[in-house]
């Protein structure tokens, strides 16, 4: 009889009972030539120890714990430890500035903040502005005076299960994304949502106990972790690879027996480039067991997969589409064996359904464009403390994605435009208003517009159109230097000087700008 789980943490406990001595997680740090591993029992024990340490601090069901860490085995241990207390885990992008962390904390009102030692300066800069936080926990060797040591807390805590009563409908995670305004939106997810991600991913990619998942993208994002959930539910091991390069990826696959790898487009292109140049040779690695490569988070050039198949003709391929609001990838996917439809985002995922609707929510005729809406067990509970945004996005159980799409004669969904004004570069979301607001701080600039332009490697790059004040002059190099304080992925890679058109209501006419500048190649581009 199949085991029934009431919360996501019970899957970890089941794995530990059934496979206590099997390897659960491997962490590879190629730059330092380091490798660590833990078994399912060690993983489960450490999660229990952390949950007990949190409970001793007073963390209880319904509290929030900010989780601000880089990928590591400790990332997952802390994640499950938090969930087992009944608290909501609040994973934050490790690229967030101190101001970003403060904004998210103001919304979440956390009782505890768990952070990596390398983020100490960011946390210290705002700790006096976070009145709800009672304890800070630092992961790493150098613990600041204001925090407690993660390692010491684990060492001093029992490995017994707290046995907090939790239901599938209980909330467990607060994930921050951003909307068209550029401010991060808090997405409230439940244990049911997490179960949906486990089942959907496993049904799509058929993971078994024998598989080995090579995990490279950031765990704070719903993409990577929810893909791993398909392996987690069958207790197959995973390799957390810290750092990205073709050599490191191939070494991990070869030496750890990797069978599944989720890549971003640039990472796949870098591997192919090395193969083409002869800098790397597939024959020098053990790759026969690598059965699936899949991609998500950005458009995939069909030529890329055709080229990939020249080196790996029998390897399966899948494209995944999803949102944080749908508990990550899987509400739509290309599907194994559908390489002839690359360019489409695919068909509804397992136990998901979809519609294409007009501005009134009415289903459009087949082939006509409209907004993609989806329904399934992965749909979020709500935008936390934002009933207005929730009401706009959730209608009768349907999630309005904000993406414009059409369906072809074979039932495959194609995105045709983005209703939300988001630029996706290398899998990261950039919200134009963030870039525009930053540019406005330059006294020479009258108006500015940030747009996404197609890029073969990154999917899109950030481009800006700058309208200067009368009599002012500015060069491309000045703009680039001025934008240095922005995170690298948000910095403009193409700069144009010209008028910024706005409609009668004052909104920037982005489609007009994209059409005007998408073919221009003479602009400055960062190498």
DSSP string, 181-222: TSSEEEEEEEHHHHHHHHHHHHHHH---TT-EEEE-S-TTSH
Give yes or no for residue 2 having a pLDDT over 80: no
Q: Specify the pLDDT at position 521.
A: 42
Structural domain includes residue 358: no
Lowest-confidence pick of 14-18, 73-77, 111-115, 302-306? 302-306
Structural domain includes residue 519: yes
Structural domain includes residue 337: no
Question: Which residues are CB-contacts of 335 (< 8 A; sequence separation ≥ 6)?
Answer: 204, 318, 346, 347
Following CA atoms 321, 177, 96, 149 in sequence, which dihedral angle do they give, to the nearest 10 degrees?
A: -90
Give yes or no for residue 222 having a pLDDT over 50: yes
Structural domain includes residue 510: yes
Among 336, 334, 331, smallest CA distance to 355 is for: 331
Strands 237-241 and 212-215, by their bridges, are parallel
Structural domain includes residue 238: no
pLDDT bracket for residue 130 (50, 70, 90): very high
Lowest-confidence pick of 81-90, 114-123, 315-324, 372-381? 315-324
* DSSP helix/strand/coil, 363: strand
Dist. CA 364–CA 367, nearest whole Å: 8
The stretch 138-142 carries a mean pLDDT of 96
The stretch 441-460 carries a mean pLDDT of 88
What is the percent of the chain where pLDDT is above 90?
A: 72
Dist. CA 360–CA 378, nearest whole Å: 24
The stretch 260-275 carries a mean pLDDT of 90
How many helices (H) does the chain have, and how many strands (E)?
A: 15, 28
Structural domain includes residue 446: yes
The stretch 100-120 carries a mean pLDDT of 97
Q: Which residue has the tokens 């930053």?
A: 438
Q: How many domains does the chain have?
A: 1
Among 474, 475, 454, smallest CA distance to 463 is for: 454
Q: For residue 452, what are the domain limits?
A: 423-525
- Find the CATH number of the domain harbouring 494: 3.30.300.30
Structure tokens at 188: 């409230």
* Three-state secondary structure string covering 85-127: CCCEEEECCCCCCHHHHHHHHHHHCCCEEEEEHHHHHHHHHHH
pLDDT bracket for residue 95 (50, 70, 90): confident
This model's pTM is above 0.85: no
Among 71, 152, 171, 172, smallest CA distance to 116 is for: 71
Dist. CA 425–CA 461, nearest whole Å: 6
Question: Which residues are CB-contacts of 266 (< 8 A; sequence separation ≥ 6)?
Answer: 426, 457, 458
Q: How many CB atoms lie within 10 A of CB 328?
A: 28
Summary mean pLDDT of the chain: 91
Strands 64-68 and 88-91, by their bridges, are parallel
Dist. CA 404–CA 188, nearest whole Å: 24
| Cα dihedral 309, 311, 316, 321 sign | negative
CA distances from 183 to 100, 102, 435 (A): 9, 12, 12
Dist. CA 99–CA 318, nearest whole Å: 37
Structural domain includes residue 515: yes
Structure tokens at 241: 């690879």
Q: Specify the pLDDT at position 4.
A: 72
Structural domain includes residue 507: yes
pLDDT bracket for residue 24 (50, 70, 90): very high
pLDDT top residue among 295 and 303: 295
Reported for 384-389, long-range contacts at CB under 8 A and 24+ positions apart, including other chains, are: 384/107, 384/108, 384/174, 384/186, 384/187, 384/188, 385/107, 385/186, 386/185, 386/186, 389/179, 389/185
Q: What is the DSSP string of 273-298?
A: HHHHHTSS-GGGS--TT--EEEEESS
Reported for 471-480, long-range contacts at CB under 8 A and 24+ positions apart, including other chains, are: 472/444, 473/444, 474/444, 474/445, 476/523, 476/524, 477/524, 479/439, 479/524, 480/524, 480/526
* DSSP helix/strand/coil, 49: helix
Q: Enumerate the β-bridge partners of residue 510.
A: none
The stretch 84-111 carries a mean pLDDT of 95
């Amino acid at each position: 009889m199949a085991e029934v789980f009431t919360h996501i943490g019970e899957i970890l406990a089941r794995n530990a009972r059934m496979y206590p001595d099997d390897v659960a997680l491997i962490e590879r740090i190629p730059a330092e030539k380091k490798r660590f591993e833990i078994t399912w029992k060690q993983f489960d024990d450490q999660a229990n120890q952390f949950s007990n340490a949190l409970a001793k601090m007073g963390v209880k069901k319904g509290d929030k714990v900010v989780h601000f860490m880089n990928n590591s085995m400790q990332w997952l241990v802390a994640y499950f430890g938090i969930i087992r207390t009944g608290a909501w885990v609040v994973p934050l992008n490790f690229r967030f500035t101190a101001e970003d962390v403060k904004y998210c904390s103001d919304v979440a009102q956390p009782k505890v903040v768990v952070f990596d030692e390398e983020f100490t300066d960011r946390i210290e800069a705002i700790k006096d502005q976070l009145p709800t936080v009672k304890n800070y926990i630092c992961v790493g060797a150098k613990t600041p005076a204001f925090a407690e040591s993660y390692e010491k807390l684990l060492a001093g805590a029992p490995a017994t299960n707290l046995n907090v009563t939790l239901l599938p409908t209980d909330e467990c995670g607060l994930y921050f994304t951003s909307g068209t305004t550029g401010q991060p939106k808090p997405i409230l997810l439940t244990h049911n949502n997490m179960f949906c991600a486990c089942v959907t991913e496993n049904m799509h990619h058929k993971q078994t106990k024998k598989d080995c998942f090579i995990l490279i993208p950031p765990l704070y994002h719903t993409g990577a972790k929810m893909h791993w959930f398909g392996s987690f539910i069958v207790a197959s091991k995973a390799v957390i690879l810290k750092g990205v390069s073709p050599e490191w990826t191939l070494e991990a696959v070869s030496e750890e027996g990797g069978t599944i790898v989720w890549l971003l487009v640039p990472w796949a292109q870098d591997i192919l480039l090395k193969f083409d140049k002869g800098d790397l040779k597939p024959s020098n690695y053990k790759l026969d067991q690598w059965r699936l490569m899949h991609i998500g988070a950005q458009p995939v050039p069909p030529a890329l997969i055709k080229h990939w198949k020249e080196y790996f003709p029998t390897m399966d391929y899948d494209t995944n589409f999803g949102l944080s609001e749908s508990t990550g990838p899987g509400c739509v996917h290309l599907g194994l064996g559908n390489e002839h439809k690359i360019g489409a985002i695919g068909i509804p995922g397992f136990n998901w359904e979809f519609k294409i609707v007009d501005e009134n929510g009415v289903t459009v005729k087949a082939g006509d464009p409209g907004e993609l809406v989806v329904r399934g067990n992965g749909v979020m509970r709500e935008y936390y403390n934002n009933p207005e945004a929730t009401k706009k996005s959730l209608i009768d159980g349907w999630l309005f994605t904000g993406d414009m799409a059409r369906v072809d004669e074979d039932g495959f969904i194609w995105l045709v435009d983005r209703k939300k004004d988001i630029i996706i570069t290398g899998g990261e979301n950039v919200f134009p208003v963030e870039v525009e607001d930053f540019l406005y701080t330059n006294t020479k600039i009258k108006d500015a517009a940030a747009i996404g332009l197609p890029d073969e490697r990154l999917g899109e790059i950030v481009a800006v159109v700058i309208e200067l004040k009368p009599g002012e002059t500015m060069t491309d190099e000045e703009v680039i230097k001025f934008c240095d304080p922005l995170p690298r992925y948000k910095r403009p890679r193409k700069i144009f000087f010209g008028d910024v058109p706005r409609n009668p209501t004052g909104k920037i006419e982005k489609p007009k700008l994209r059409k005007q500048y998408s073919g221009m190649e003479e602009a400055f581009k960062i190498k």
